Amino acid sequence: MNTEEKQICTDAACNCKGMGLDQKTCEEIVHHLRRAYCDEWLAFMQYWTAAQVVAGVMRPEMTCELMENANEELEHARMLADRIQTLCGEVPRSPQEILENCNCAFVAPTDPCGYRIMCQSIASERCAIAVYNRILKTIGDRDPVTSRMILEILEDEEEHEYEFRQIKEDIDASREALGMGVKTPMK
């Protein structure tokens, strides 16, 4: 065994140098990924719960969209958990930790009105999009692997925003066709 191999064997603990990153950069990236991980869990819970209670003329479409997007948020959480651990970080383990470290607020679907749930979901997606854009800017070209993963997630979030917005616009259009006028924006 040569000196380099011996060094690698004795230094078996997780080490950011192995990823070509200095410790400070690594910790900074993990900090942002942990917060995004918390957002993903809350988004999953928000959409999954909304899918159970949503009401209105487009209920089947809304349930389907909410469930589909909830599952994608969970997949984002999995991707983030993987990367956090690759970068020697700790994945948040409790609901308290998730609530204390999130960027985007959890919006409980207390009102089953589908239109309102769509508006809340659009707002949640816009928060996620802003967060991931901020993370991308912060990372810059320091960690291309994390940046690529964030871009992949960001693409999904933009699609989610579009899909929820499409349903909201369909509801607006059907109300207009019935001469009911567009719903007043929720507060």
Interacting residues toward Fe ion by CB under 5 A: 40, 73, 76, 125, 157, 160
Supply the minimum distance, in Å, between the C-beta of residue 166 and Fe ion: 14
74 vs 113, which CB is nearer to Fe ion?
74
Sign of CA dihedral 33, 47, 156, 166: negative
Beta bridge partners of 55: 113
65 vs 125, which CB is nearer to Fe ion?
125
73 vs 143, which CB is nearer to Fe ion?
73
**DSSP result, 4-57:** HHHHHHH--S--GGGGT--HHHHHHHHHHHHHHHHHHHHHHHHHHHHHHH-BST
Supply the minimum distance, in Å, between the C-beta of residue 125 and Fe ion: 5
Q: How far is CA 54 from the centre of its chain?
A: 21
What angle is formed at CA 97 by the lines to CA 143 and CA 65, rounded to 5 degrees? 75
156 vs 170, which CB is nearer to Fe ion?
156
**Phi, psi angles (nearest 5°) of residue 55:** -135, 160
Supply the minimum distance, in Å, between the C-beta of residue 99 and Fe ion: 17
Supply the minimum distance, in Å, between the C-beta of residue 156 and Fe ion: 6
